[in-house]
């Protein structure tokens, strides 16, 4: 009986080895399917890579287009600021002339007012804004404090006198306002 058990064990081992060999040796059809499946996977991966490259290229182009558009607007504002900066002394002179014309004939006053209003209209068309009035809060980012006073007439850090108006285009300061600040540290 022992011999029969040994034969049975040997037979079972042989059967298991044959199963393992069958599993390790794929059939020719299975080889073709594996090759075509791997080829499909490679092609799908290559397609996904190309699609990713195209999307990245499109995104880079869109970013470039936006950046150049913003730069163009910035260049326009910079050029306008440079031109306006050269005209500001003329605006200051007109303002001082109007203030000193108390005894001048009415025709002269009207003429100066007309020229000053034309200049103001031209600056407005260029989106140039004048800023700074007496009583405004002092902001060191847009105001240049050249003097300070202690006064009961004004609250702390308020502008008490404007020596020179400030001008800006949007958020870009063309010229800081020159002011006197009341009750500041």
Structure tokens at 55: 């999307």
At residue 101, the pLDDT reads 87
Question: Minimal CA–CA distance to 132: which of 79, 73, 180, 80?
Answer: 180
Instruction: Please report whether residue 50 resides in a domain.
Output: no
Instruction: Please report whether residue 156 resides in a domain.
Output: yes
Residue-wise pLDDT tens digits, 104-142: 888 988 988 899 899 999 999 999 999 999 989 999 999
At residue 22, the pLDDT reads 54
Instruction: Please report whether residue 17 resides in a domain.
Output: no
Instruction: Please report whether residue 40 resides in a domain.
Output: no
Q: Where in the sequence is the domain holding 168, given as residue range(s)?
A: 128-185
Which band of pLDDT confidence, cut at 50, 70 and 90, is reported for residue 15?
A: low
Q: What percent of the chain has pLDDT over 90?
A: 48
At residue 35, the pLDDT reads 78
Cα 181 to Cα 156: distance, rounded to the nearest angstrom: 8
CB 159 within 8 A of CB 140: no
CATH number reported for the structural domain that contains residue 163 in this entry? 2.30.22.10
Instruction: Please report whether residue 163 resides in a domain.
Output: yes
Total number of domains constituting the chain: 1
Instruction: Please report whether residue 174 resides in a domain.
Output: yes
Residue-wise pLDDT tens digits, 143-170: 999 999 998 888 888 999 999 999 999 8
Q: Both ends of the chain: CA-CA distance in Å?
A: 113
Cα 74 to Cα 66: distance, rounded to the nearest angstrom: 12
Q: What percent of the chain has pLDDT over 70?
A: 82
Q: Is the pLDDT of residue 103 over 90?
A: no
Instruction: Please report whether residue 152 resides in a domain.
Output: yes
Across the chain, the runs of DSSP E, i.e. the strands, are 128-131, 143-149, 158-164, 166-169, 172-175, 177-182
Instruction: Please report whether residue 5 resides in a domain.
Output: no
Residue-wise pLDDT tens digits, 58-72: 999 999 999 999 898
């Amino acid at each position: 009986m022992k011999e029969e058990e040994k034969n049975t064990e040997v037979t079972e081992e042989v059967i298991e080895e044959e199963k393992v060999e069958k599993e390790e040796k794929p059939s020719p059809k299975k080889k073709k399917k594996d090759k075509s499946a791997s080829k499909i996977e490679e092609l799908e991966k290559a397609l996904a890579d190309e699609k990713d490259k195209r999307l990245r290229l499109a995104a880079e182009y869109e970013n470039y287009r936006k950046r150049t558009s913003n730069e163009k607007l910035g260049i326009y504002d910079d050029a306008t600021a440079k031109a306006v900066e050269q005209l500001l002394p003329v605006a200051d002179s007109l303002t001082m002339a109007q203030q000193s014309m108390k005894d001048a004939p009415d025709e002269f006053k009207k003429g100066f007012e007309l020229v000053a209003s034309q200049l103001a209209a031209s600056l407005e068309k260029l989106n140039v804004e004048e800023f700074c009035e007496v009583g405004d809060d002092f902001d060191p980012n847009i105001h240049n404090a050249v003097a300070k006073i202690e006064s009961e007439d004004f609250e702390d850090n308020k502008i008490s006198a404007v020596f020179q108006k400030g001008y800006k285009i949007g958020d870009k300061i063309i010229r800081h306002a020159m002011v006197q600040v009341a009750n500041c540290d």
